[in-house]
């Protein structure tokens, strides 16, 4: 991290920032140049500034302008190309960068500096265009409330009205005012994400705000908003520790005391990527939920599927894995055909999750081999033999496939012989 102090302010030496690629820097210069010529101050905000000081990889670039972000975006497109996706309600826009920029991220968020008023706890805020100072004061934590000015001679100037730098150094997550978690209780999740991600702690004055009052508001949030927060947690490397932290804070009980803890036995399983021979890749977020609810009874899974607004696929996969886990003991000595019959009713990711958790070899056999086993004889062959079409076809083909799976048929000739005995 390099900073350069002068009498009035601190300037970040963006040119030498290791976390910025030369293409990203060139992009910032382009924005700075337009911002100067339009006399609309532009700032890099939020995560970028935090991650600059922490010397972490930059994931996204958020630009706040003291002016209209949509008009600013239109000028960017006019000058440099690309495409703008405006959101008129919030006066924000996404600038999808021209492909010639060959840059990551391929888009950036443009935000009109704004003031936010929470008329009702937990509801989305009312927004009014305002200054960068107000914009920083509407944010979640001091470490996320810093900005770097881009236009003209201001390039690199740090704005840190809430002393975020200090908290970064002290490894503290601190809200900006005492109603913060009441206005928006999703910030409790965010606090835990940052605390665990960076090994920071919640400042005691913020910690005491995670209390019955903010929990009462958290309880009223929609399933969709809560699930989004859990999704973000499962995208993180230390997701299991984040869940444990939320549990310790009492967040789980807010939703319902039956919300299970994440079983520590499964904590390493999220990081494994499926072996290539499995022929599919598991979505980390889905896998997270499956491991979380795997040991729960069906009615608990059903309850939280509704409460957290699971998609129908996620609900189905979570129910399937919990049921399959229950049936596992009764299947242990089953023949491959019986396993296959049972597992084919289950989403692949559920089979995979249970294999990770149980190491049951039949689950791997199913994923790698059994599910691909086909008969050589087809319905057309049965037709050619003059067998009248009907439910019998399914039965015959099922028996032939079972024989292949169980090793009772090893080649086409033996399959043919078996067919003859079945007719």
Q: Contact positions toward ligand ATP, by CB under 6 A? A: 46-47, 59-60, 62, 139-140, 144, 184, 186-187
Cα separation, 43 vs 65, in Å, equals: 6
Of 242 and 397, nearer to ligand ATP (C-beta) is 242
Between the CA of residue 95 and those of 69, 87, 91, 149, what are the distances in Å?
10, 11, 13, 19
Residue 304 Cα to chain centre, angstroms: 18
Residue 136: Cβ within 10 Å count: 24
Residue pair 47/144 in contact (Cβ under 8 Å)? The answer is yes
Shortest spacing between CB 324 and ligand ATP, in angstroms: 34
Residues with Cβ within 8 Å of residue 177, at least 6 apart in sequence: none
Of 47 and 67, nearer to ligand ATP (C-beta) is 47
Of 146 and 409, nearer to ligand ATP (C-beta) is 146
Shortest spacing between CB 169 and ligand ATP, in angstroms: 18
Of 174 and 342, nearer to ligand ATP (C-beta) is 174
Residues with Cβ within 8 Å of residue 273, at least 6 apart in sequence: 281, 282
Residues with Cβ within 8 Å of residue 298, at least 6 apart in sequence: 319, 322, 323
Identify the helix (H) or strand (E) that includes residue 178.
none
Phi-psi region of 9 (alpha: psi -120 to 50; beta: other; left: phi over 0): beta
Of 109 and 157, nearer to ligand ATP (C-beta) is 109
Shortest spacing between CB 187 and ligand ATP, in angstroms: 5
Of 47 and 288, nearer to ligand ATP (C-beta) is 47
Shortest spacing between CB 226 and ligand ATP, in angstroms: 13
The DSSP bridge pattern shows strands 107-112 and 62-65 to be parallel
Cα separation, 419 vs 270, in Å, equals: 45
* Selection from 173, 94, 177 nearest residue 138 by Cα: 177
Residue pair 81/98 in contact (Cβ under 8 Å)? The answer is yes
Of 140 and 151, nearer to ligand ATP (C-beta) is 140
Shortest spacing between CB 150 and ligand ATP, in angstroms: 17
Shortest spacing between CB 290 and ligand ATP, in angstroms: 24
Of 241 and 342, nearer to ligand ATP (C-beta) is 241
Shortest spacing between CB 410 and ligand ATP, in angstroms: 55
DSSP 377: S
Shortest spacing between CB 130 and ligand ATP, in angstroms: 15
């Amino acid at each position: 991290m390099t900073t350069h102090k002068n009498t009035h302010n601190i300037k970040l030496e963006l040119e030498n920032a290791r976390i910025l690629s030369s293409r990203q820097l060139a992009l910032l210069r382009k924005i700075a140049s337009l911002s100067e010529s339009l006399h609309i101050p532009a700032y890099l905000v939020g995560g970028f500034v935090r991650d600059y000081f922490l010397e972490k990889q930059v994931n996204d670039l958020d630009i706040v302008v003291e002016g209209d972000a949509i008009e600013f975006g239109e000028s960017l497109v006019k000058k440099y190309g690309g495409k703008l996706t405006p959101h008129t309600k919030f006066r924000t826009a996404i600038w999808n960068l021209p492909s010639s920029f060959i840059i990551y991220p391929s888009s950036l968020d443009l935000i009109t500096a704004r003031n936010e008023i929470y008329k009702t706890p937990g509801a989305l805020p009312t927004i009014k265009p305002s200054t960068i100072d107000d914009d920083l004061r509407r944010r979640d934590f001091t470490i996320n409330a810093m900005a770097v000015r881009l236009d003209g001679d201001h390039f690199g100037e740090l704005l840190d009205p809430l002393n975020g730098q200090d908290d970064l150094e002290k490894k503290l997550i601190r809200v900006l005012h005492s109603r913060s978690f009441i206005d928006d209780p999703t910030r409790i999740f965010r606090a835990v994400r940052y605390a665990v991600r960076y090994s920071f702690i919640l400042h005691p004055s913020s910690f005491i705000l995670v209390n019955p009052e903010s929990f009462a508001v958290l309880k009223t949030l929609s399933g969709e908003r809560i699930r989004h927060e859990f999704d973000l947690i499962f995208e993180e490397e230390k997701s299991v520790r984040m869940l444990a932290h939320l549990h310790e804070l009492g967040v789980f009980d807010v939703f319902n005391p039956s919300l299970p803890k994440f079983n520590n036995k499964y904590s390493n399983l999220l990081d494994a990527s499926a072996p290539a021979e499995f022929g599919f890749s598991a979505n980390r977020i889905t896998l997270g939920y499956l491991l979380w609810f795997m040991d729960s009874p069906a009615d608990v899974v059903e309850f939280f599927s509704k409460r957290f607004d699971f998609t129908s696929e996620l609900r189905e996969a979570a129910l399937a894995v919990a049921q399959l886990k229950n049936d596992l003991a009764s299947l242990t000595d089953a023949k491959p055909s019986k396993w296959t019959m049972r597992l084919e009713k289950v989403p692949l990711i559920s089979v995979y999750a249970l294999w990770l958790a149980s190491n049951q070899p039949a689950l791997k056999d199913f994923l790698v081999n059994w599910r691909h086993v086909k008969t050589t004889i087809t319905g057309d062959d049965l037709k050619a033999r003059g067998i009248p079409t009907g439910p019998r076809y399914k039965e015959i083909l099922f028996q032939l496939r079972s024989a292949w799976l169980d090793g009772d048929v090893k080649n086409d000739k033996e399959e043919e012989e078996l067919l003859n005995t079945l007719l």
